[in-house]
Structure 1
């Protein structure tokens, strides 16, 4: 089995938890699961066994494959799967223009899922979401999402123009704390290094996130987290939620 290269027809998870998420959400795409001989010590292994048995997916014990593909020594399972295409739902969207950092992408996917967002638009050029580094950083959240690439924002806009657009910009016209969301909407964020171009001021209601003068900008994944928290507040009010263990 070879290391993943951008555009390959197959990719793989790195770790027990992402592999379980793959088996739960996309079993139809899984080709096989490769495990380390010491995986029986891991409490997630019975879950993998049950899911593989249910979906008739073979399990191979092969330490060399694990050691070859995993950059870390604590990887006990790899899920090999066929890459796939998704379709966007006419719900609230997150739009990322030219995201290039694999760790950021995985973190943003996990953050999206945590706040109940499942539709991700990616404007090319951009990172490959099926790179194992992205999958691992997402902790398997990628398998819950509908992620679709577009060659340009205009291509996306032509397909989903009947919605509210909120581009996040340093020169945004409205403080995020003053925004009352109109659904369905698209939250638009730019590249890690240069944000959104001024032409996005022509789309919808531009927004800025206020912060102190001690920094020049927020990290992209942090900005997205703040945006998702603000725009999803209504859906969590009065609900029982899972509390993070600290």
Structure 2
């Protein structure tokens, strides 16, 4: 943990207390913080090892196919954890979930999430056998009409922000569509994940 010497507010004092309590090494290093930080109001920087624990078998998952927006990624992680889904599969190529923008927008939820990257969705399916629900603009079933089999773990699958899911996902299921007015082309990816995760938790 790196700390900035010129700021000694309650937040910094709390960080120092937690570091001492958890035996986390910290140092005061203004020069290094100024070099690493991309924001002017950064007073502490955590240094940690990236961890990819793998996804839990027999649990619910969200899979994102080639996500490209770091802010969306952090919001999706935070939202998924909020609705009880702590397993996130990511199909490459994709953003780095440990990019500072993702970590910040996840509001710490990334450290409560099991994350695993896959080269393809086929690789994911070779390892997990959940019920698959793909979300597509051309989906044939409206979300509110979906009947969820609670006896089996499920996977909610979403495409990237600009192009959605590729056509080869159409063989997996009829697809789910989240209806909205004709005044917009589509919903934001993070919003779509939030709506879907809430629905599947509620039914």
TM-score by length of 1: 0.77
CA distance change for structure 1 residues 89 and 205 in 2, over 3 Å: closer, same or farther? farther
For 1:207, the equivalent position in structure 2 comes to 176
CA distance in 2, matches of 1:50, 1:230: 40
Q: How does 1:85-96 map to 2 (within 5 A)?
A: 85-90=52-57, 91-96=59-64
CA distance in 2, matches of 1:48, 1:177: 45
For 1:222, the equivalent position in structure 2 comes to 191
For 2:50, the equivalent position in structure 1 comes to 83
SS class of match (2:155): strand
Q: Is the 8 A contact 1:167 1:200 kept in 2?
A: yes
Q: Which runs of 5+ in 2 are unaligned?
A: none
For 1:25, the equivalent position in structure 2 comes to none
Q: How does 1:57-206 map to 2 (within 5 A)?
A: 57-90=24-57, 91-161=59-129, 163-182=130-149, 183-206=152-175
CA distance in 2, matches of 1:67, 1:137: 21
Out of 63-72 and 95-104, give the one that drifted further.
Answer: 63-72
Out of 127-136 and 163-172, give the one that drifted further.
Answer: 127-136
SS class of match (2:90): strand
CA distance in 1, matches of 2:37, 2:196: 33
Q: Which runs of 5+ in 1 are unaligned?
A: 1-32, 235-246
Q: Is the 8 A contact 1:39 1:77 kept in 2?
A: no
CA distance in 2, matches of 1:39, 1:225: 37
The structural deviation recorded for 1:205 is 4.8
Instruction: Count residues with an aligned counterpart.
Output: 200
Output one character per residue of 1:122-164: Cα deviation in whole Å (capped at 9) or x when no partner. 0001111111121112122111100000000000001112x21
Output one character per residue of 1:63-111: Cα deviation in whole Å (capped at 9) or x when no partner. 2222222222222211101122212112100000000111111111111
CA RMSD of aligned residues (A): 1.5
The structural deviation recorded for 1:45 is 3.0
For 1:240, the equivalent position in structure 2 comes to none
